[in-house]
Amino acid sequence: MTSPDTYFKNALLQDGTLNDIIVRDGRIQSIVPAGSGAGAETVDIAGALLVPGFVEGHIHLDTSFWGDKWIPYKPCTDGFDVHERVTFQAQNMAEAAPMDVRARNQLDLCISNGSLQMRSHVMVDGSVGLKSLETILKVREEYRDLIDVQLVAFPQSGILKSHGTPDLLDAAIGLGADLIGGLDPLSFDRDIKGHLDVVFGLAEKHGVDVDIHLHDGSQLGAMTIEEICARTVALGMQGHVAVSHAYGLGDLPRDAAMKIAGLIARSGVSIMTNAPGHHNFPPVALLRAEGVNVFSGSDNIRDSWWPFGDGDMLRRAEIISYRSGFFTDLELTSAFDVVTAGGAKALRLEGYGIAVGAKADFVAIPAAHVPEAVVGVPKPRRVFKGGRLVAENGAVIR
Ligand SMILES: [Zn+2]
């Protein structure tokens, strides 16, 4: 049955024009100059900037303590050690609120800030088996009318080093995970071929996309990216593979970075960065100039890895700009693109954007234009999913 049209009047679009947007059955039916029409149901956007829902492209719904008690960050005994952090994480999670409660807290946070599309990594390994995934799958189902969530089966304890993980990853896809993840094939599993054989083997077997955590720096990171690109092309998976963090790209001299950027672009591999403050990170402008799709995410929010994060992808665009030295309107808009269109491309979202035929998933922000929104991170916001108001004044409406 067709629902009555909803008129969203006086919406300021990214091109600076004021428009009315007509929505039918959750999709944008038409976009006309403001004042051209009225319908049975009218929502006044009142001149606020209307942008597509943000794409939260990398988050961990299973490990955040947002909304739970404060858990102080515990430093490693000697520098930074992924293995030790995984141990701390297990200790912290044992005394935290139940995972489903914490995942809901985090989803509410993200939706209220305007994220309507998400990719979350969920731990699948010998330590937790499929338990975390089962919990997050149930929570995803509860939120299906509020946000679209892709889940990555994430081998947090390595694939070869954690007993039974290849079979668990295989089972995770059967259970409902959408993508296969990976973790530092060289530094963690010490076997790039063995690790990627499992990741790409399962991707090929199930016809799913790949998103690999890669923290390895400099040449170690670059070598891994080259290998991921080669496998992506060999399997014809261009557009279906992402490398998250890719810190190593930020360590390379400009010439080397440009060379590998060309390879990444030709291979159709997306790069995810959250522009961390404590680490070199991929050169966003250089990558985009070479044709690489860059997207972003909050990554960890108040968990065992760091105490930061607020689930606001507009704030993330500001952080990317701040860390990248983006000052001009064009540069600030490019950071906005990373948290919107870049994410949509990496997640292969259908019907994304403010366009006729697209899903009516949008956010109304009190800003005059995108560059101002990026530096000001203004609130309050109104968030609409399929044309329905799902969050207002920082709270989710059910
Ligand atoms: Zn992550």
What is the full DSSP assignment across 112-170?
Answer: HHTEEEEEEEEE-BTTTBTHHHHHHHHHHHHTTTT-EEEEEEE-TT-SSSSTTHHHHHH
Domain 61-346, CATH number (from 3.20.20.140, 3.40.50.360, 2.70.98.10, 3.40.190.10):
3.20.20.140
Pairing of strands 18-24, 27-33: antiparallel
Q: How far is the CA of 143 from the centre of ligand 1 (A)?
A: 21
Joined together, the tokens standing for residue 98 give: 């139940």
pLDDT at 2: 59
DSSP string, 251-297: TS-HHHHHHHHHHHHHHTEEEE----TTS----HHHHHHTT--EE--
Q: How far is the CA of 211 from the centre of ligand 1 (A)?
A: 10
pLDDT of the chain along its 398 residues, tens only? 556 789 999 999 999 999 999 999 999 999 999 988 766 789 999 999 999 999 999 999 999 999 999 999 999 998 888 788 888 998 999 999 999 999 999 999 999 999 999 999 999 998 899 999 999 999 999 999 999 999 999 999 999 999 899 999 999 999 999 999 999 999 999 999 999 999 999 999 999 999 999 999 999 999 999 999 999 999 999 999 999 999 999 999 999 999 999 999 999 999 999 999 989 999 999 999 999 999 999 999 999 999 999 999 999 999 999 999 999 999 999 999 999 999 999 999 999 999 999 999 999 999 999 999 999 999 999 999 999 999 999 999 98
Q: How far is the CA of 59 from the centre of ligand 1 (A)?
A: 6
Q: How far is the CA of 285 from the centre of ligand 1 (A)?
A: 22
Q: How far is the CA of 302 from the centre of ligand 1 (A)?
A: 13
Among candidates 43, 13, 49, 46, which has minimal Cα distance to 31? 13
* Rounded distance between C-alpha atoms, residue 85 and residue 226, angstroms: 28
Give me the residue spans of the domains in the chain: 6-52+352-396, 61-346
Among candidates 361, 374, 388, 369, which has minimal Cα distance to 324? 374
- Distant-in-sequence, close-in-space partners of 142: CB < 8 Å, separation ≥ 6: 104
Secondary structure (3-state) at 65: coil
Assess contact for 271 and 246: CB atoms under 8 A.
yes
Assess contact for 357 and 28: CB atoms under 8 A.
yes
* pTM value > 0.95: yes
Q: How far is the CA of 121 from the centre of ligand 1 (A)?
A: 7
Q: How far is the CA of 166 from the centre of ligand 1 (A)?
A: 19
Q: How far is the CA of 68 from the centre of ligand 1 (A)?
A: 20
Q: Which residue has the tokens 């400099």?
A: 218
* Rounded distance between C-alpha atoms, residue 51 and residue 42, angstroms: 18
Assess contact for 305 and 92: CB atoms under 8 A.
no
CATH class of the domain at 6-52+352-396: mainly beta
DSSP string, 74-97: ---SSS--HHHHHHHHHHHHHTSS
Q: How far is the CA of 64 from the centre of ligand 1 (A)?
A: 11
Q: How far is the CA of 199 from the centre of ligand 1 (A)?
A: 16
Q: Nearest 5°: CA angle at 82, between 250 and 237?
A: 55
